[in-house]
């Protein structure tokens, strides 16, 4: 409220509220979304490019965690204390490390008790401006403005060139540009080794159905692990719409799909993978699958768990419980097929395809004669 009341004439201030409520701020324009406080809070965490934090309770830490997970910037005014100061409570995705859009001097001012309020405010304004600038969107640091950087050289050479110095958000923008401005990105998450007897065959059928039934805007991304992801890549048609994401300089060794690169190591690659997709299909999995599903869900992506396969996908390893509840874009029958271990694999795969298509807004082929080859050489009809 204090910020809104002192932000000029309020013409650029928007106060986000649940439907039917009023802010009473007297400055700014009320904007209504969500049925209640929790929905409104979740939506607030999805709309911003940069978030400023002042003091704050544990809820501020949770919200900052969510926005960092989806690639937004967090600028904590650490000198104000509480959540904005405490590295133990604040997000674990390194928000207290200086980002590329801030100079060392600016970042130090955020925690300096000796700096004047005017100096601190000027530093914050400069960081926000730099974060929103086109150069920052290309991954250029403050040093790049002063004299160039590896990321700048890469962008001048071509927007699809990977660099270990780009941040997660920049990597996602670059990769989305490479996959196509109209692409609907379907990411595959799963175990590195199959544990359920039916899972491997289910992944093969699912891979074939997804590429055969969804139109060309649908692109499929793996993180280059064996098991679920490699099996998916090998059975997703001719592999022309499969992209295998790896750290910079690493080859996948997959026989299908195109290798793409982002992140200096596996940890950075995982973060970027969790920020890239519009929807994530999960099969089996352990703690890593659960973590990436939570990160994807926190930024507003959809998660479609093949619950019948067990592991994280059926709710173990702290898998997000929200992802196990039927979303609005799925019918009761479709959702039930994801967990029904007695249902034919073809029906469970078809249900997953329909749910994915509904979320990303692509058409499903009406050709019911599409054929899916099985491992034993038998060919089954694939119903769209």
Q: How confident is the model at residue 356 (pLDDT cuts 50, 70, 90)?
A: very high
Q: How confident is the model at residue 132 (pLDDT cuts 50, 70, 90)?
A: low
pLDDT at residue 86, as a whole number: 59
Q: How confident is the model at residue 69 (pLDDT cuts 50, 70, 90)?
A: low
The CA distance from 324 to 380, in Å, is: 29
Would you say 325 and 355 are in contact if contact means Cβ atoms under 8 Å apart? no
pLDDT at residue 147, as a whole number: 33
Give the residue from 239, 238, 263 showing the smallest Cα distance to 249: 263
Q: Which residues contact 194 (CB under 8 A, 6 or more apart)?
A: 200, 227, 228, 231, 284
Taking phi first (over 0 means left), then psi (-120 to 50 degrees means alpha), and beta for anything else, what does residue 100 get?
Answer: alpha
Residues facing 189 on adjacent strands: 282
- Average pLDDT score, the chain: 81
**Residue 303 in this model has a pLDDT that exceeds 90:** yes
pLDDT at residue 84, as a whole number: 56
Would you say 198 and 308 are in contact if contact means Cβ atoms under 8 Å apart? yes
The pLDDT tens digits of the residues spanning 3-35 come to 888 888 888 888 888 888 888 888 888 888 777
The CA-based dihedral angle spanning residues 195, 200, 206, 209, taken in that order and rounded to the nearest 10 degrees = 180
Could you please report the per-residue DSSP string of 72-102?
-EEEEEGGG-GGGT-TTTS-SS-TTSPPTTS
∠ Cα 53 57 58 (to 5°): 105
- 272-293: average pLDDT: 95
The pLDDT tens digits of the residues spanning 94-107 come to 445 677 778 888 88
- 323-347: average pLDDT: 96
User: 3-state DSSP call for residue 299?
Assistant: coil
Would you say 276 and 300 are in contact if contact means Cβ atoms under 8 Å apart? no
**Residue 71 in this model has a pLDDT that exceeds 50:** yes
Give the residue from 292, 60, 272 showing the smallest Cα distance to 75: 60
The CA distance from 140 to 151, in Å, is: 6
Tell me the torsion sign for CA atoms 2, 32, 359, 318. Answer: positive
Instruction: Please give the C-alpha separations between residue 9 and each of 4, 22, 53, in angstroms, as whole numbers.
Output: 9, 19, 22
Other beta carbons less than 10 A from residue 255's beta carbon: 9
């Amino acid at each position: 409220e204090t910020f809104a009341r002192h932000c000029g004439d309020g013409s650029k201030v928007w106060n986000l509220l649940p439907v039917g409520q009023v802010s009473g701020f007297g400055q700014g324009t009320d904007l209504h979304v969500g049925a209640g406080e929790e929905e409104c809070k979740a939506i607030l965490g999805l709309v911003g490019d940069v978030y400023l934090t002042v003091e704050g309770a544990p809820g501020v830490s949770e919200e900052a965690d969510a926005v960092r997970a989806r690639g937004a910037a967090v600028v904590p005014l650490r000198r104000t204390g509480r959540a904005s100061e405490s590295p133990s409570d604040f997000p674990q995705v390194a928000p207290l490390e200086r980002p590329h859009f801030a100079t060392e001097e600016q970042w130090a001012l955020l925690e300096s008790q000796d700096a004047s309020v005017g100096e601190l405010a000027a530093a914050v304004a400069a960081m926000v401006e730099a974060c929103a600038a086109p150069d920052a969107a290309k991954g250029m640091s403050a040093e790049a403005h002063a004299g160039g950087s590896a990321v700048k050289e890469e962008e001048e050479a071509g927007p699809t060139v990977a660099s270990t110095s780009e941040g997660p958000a920049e990597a996602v923008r670059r990769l989305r540009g490479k996959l196509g401005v109209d692409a609907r990105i379907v990411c595959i998450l799963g175990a590195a080794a199959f544990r359920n007897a039916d899972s491997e065959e289910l992944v093969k059928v699912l891979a074939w159905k997804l590429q055969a039934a969804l139109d060309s805007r649908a692109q499929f991304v793996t993180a280059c692990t064996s098991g679920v992801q490699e099996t998916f890549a090998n059975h997703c048609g001719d592999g022309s719409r499969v992209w295998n994401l790896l750290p910079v300089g690493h080859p996948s060794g997959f026989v299908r799909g195109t290798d793409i690169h982002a992140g200096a190591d596996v940890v950075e690659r995982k973060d970027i993978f969790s920020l890239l997709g519009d929807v994530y299909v999960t099969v089996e999995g352990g703690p890593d699958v659960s973590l990436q599903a939570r990160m994807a869900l926190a930024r507003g992506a959809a998660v479609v768990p093949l619950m019948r396969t067990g592991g994280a996908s059926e709710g173990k390893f702290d898998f997000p419980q929200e992802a196990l509840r039927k979303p609005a874009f799925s019918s009761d029958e479709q959702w039930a097929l994801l967990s029904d271990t007695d249902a034919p694999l073809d029906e469970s795969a078809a249900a997953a395809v329909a749910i994915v298509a509904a979320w990303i807004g692509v058409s499903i082929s009406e050709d019911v004669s599409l054929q899916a080859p099985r491992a034993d050489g038998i060919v089954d009809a694939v119903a769209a």
